[in-house]
Homo-oligomer: A and B are copies of this chain.
Amino acid sequence: MTQRQNLRIPGPTPVPDDILQAVAHPMVNHRGKEFAGVLERTAAKLKDFFLTKHDVLMLSTSGTGGLEAAVVNTLSPGDAVLGVSIGAFGDRFAQIAEAYGADVIPLSYEWGQAARADDIREALKEHPDVRAVLVTHNETSTGVTNPLEEIAAAVRETDKLLLVDAISSLGAVPFDMDGWGLDVVVTGSQKGWMVPPGLAFLALSERGWKAYESSTMPRFYFDAGRHRDALAKGQTPWTPTMSIFFGLDLALERMAEEGLERIHTRHARMGRLTREGVKSLGLDLLCRDEQYASDTVTAVKAPEGIDVGAVRKVMEDEHDTVLAGGQARLQGKIFRIGHLGVVDEPDIRACLDALAQTLTRLGYKLPAVR
């Protein structure tokens, strides 16, 4: 079976056929030599994308599970944390910390905006007891990328921990864990990595591991120390989701062949192409400032009188193209186009053409000059 749809949601992203075939690898002993090789290779290659010298742990869970791992491995109940949120996933990160007893001080922005490093600098001065800052690199729900390097610089003026949700950014857009001084970084397999959902990747800085030692939030399945110790022996502490690892092994090889820089350039080009295409149809982006527009997902405001559900239905039924809707308070107000992972110009052009036809069919009047 081949990918028949133009799957333009921000994850799960399309998986190339040969990687799907790798996913179909027969079962082997998860404690044996062959699988140890898979774990060692993938863990080593992931470091080249995180740009870290620290271990990248591979957890059999979704991105949300990865965020939970970030929280429970470094914080303690009662810790004050600054929860920077520019959308649904920023909110979720804060909710997880709250569920485990952290005292979350929210720093929330209107959905569609990016966070400002200066605001975080101010907030940390105002709340000197804050122990950690939670921030989303790329907010999948709004199509906005936070200026993470600037934010990290602000946090690095203090001794606070910086926990980063890089689920829909890492592997697709520029990222530098060690260079920017990030303490905990999480990403997920079904985004930029060309593999199906099922794995979250987690790395901790030296400061992060120090926090791990004194952190008292309860944890077992997500325990980073157990994953680190097992990885050193070519294992995982619990039975891993092996199929996705087999796919990842091949996917990372492909990504290394393309190279970090070319992957980033391609995503930047896809982002621009999508935004320009959408604007040429007379549509508005949710992200107001091109500087912070995401190169992995674009959120488009539904034009007056056009129903988002109808747009998505016609796109899917008549053009085999799947878009995402809006989440939470943006439901019915936007649709989203994913452009991360395996994506190139023809995919985006086909999507934009289909969108033009769909909108016309639904009574929307395209601008005369496009």
A14: Cβ under 8 A from any B Cβ: yes
Q: Give me 26 A-to-B residue pairs in the complex whose CB atoms sit less than 8 angstroms apart, sorted by A's number.
A: A1-B24, A9-B29, A11-B239, A12-B27, A12-B28, A13-B27, A14-B26, A23-B24, A23-B243, A24-B24, A32-B322, A60-B62, A60-B197, A61-B65, A63-B239, A64-B238, A65-B238, A100-B220, A196-B241, A196-B242, A197-B239, A198-B242, A218-B218, A241-B241, A241-B244, A243-B243
Task: Kindly state the separation between the CA atoms of A238 and B218 in the bound complex, as whole angstroms.
Answer: 21
Q: A220-B96, A238-B64, A242-B196 are in contact. Are A12 and B25 (CB under 8 A)?
A: no
Q: Which of A182-199 contact B (CB under 8 A)?
A: 188, 190, 196-198
Secondary structure of the A contact surface, majority rule: loop
Q: A197-B241, A243-B244 are in contact. Are A26 and B32 (CB under 8 A)?
A: no
A297: Cβ under 8 A from any B Cβ: no
Task: Kindly state the separation between the CA atoms of A5 and B64 in the bound complex, as whole angstroms.
Answer: 35
Query: Quick one: CB contact mask for A19-61 with B, threshold 8 Å, 1 for yes?
Result: 0110111111111100000000000000000000000000011
- Interface residue count for A (Cβ, 8 Å)? 58
Binding site for B on A (CB under 8 A): 1-5, 7, 9, 11-15, 20-21, 23-32, 60-65, 68, 95-96, 99-101, 188, 190, 196-198, 217-222, 237-244, 316, 322, 324
Instruction: Report whether B198 and A29 are in contact in the complex, using a CB–CB cutoff of 8 Å.
Output: no
Task: Kindly state the separation between the CA atoms of A86 and B168 in the bound complex, as whole angstroms.
Answer: 44
Residues of B within 8 A of A65 (CB): 60-61, 221, 238
Q: A198-B241, A218-B218 given. 5 additional CB < 8 A pairs?
A: A3-B26, A12-B30, A27-B190, A64-B238, A64-B239
Task: Kindly state the separation between the CA atoms of A243 and B196 in the bound complex, as whole angstroms.
Answer: 7
Q: How many copies does the complex hold?
A: 2
Task: Kindly state the separation between the CA atoms of A6 and B4 in the bound complex, as whole angstroms.
Answer: 35
Residues of B within 8 A of A7 (CB): 27-29
| A225 CB, min distance to chain B CBs, angstroms | 12
Instruction: Report whether B60 and A218 are in contact in the complex, using a CB–CB cutoff of 8 Å.
Output: no
Task: Kindly state the separation between the CA atoms of A237 and B95 in the bound complex, as whole angstroms.
Answer: 14
Closest Cβ neighbor of A323 among chain B residues: B29
Closest Cβ neighbor of A316 among chain B residues: B32
| A273 CB, min distance to chain B CBs, angstroms | 22
Residues of B within 8 A of A99 (CB): 218-220
Instruction: Report whether B28 and A5 are in contact in the complex, using a CB–CB cutoff of 8 Å.
Output: yes
Closest Cβ neighbor of A101 among chain B residues: B218
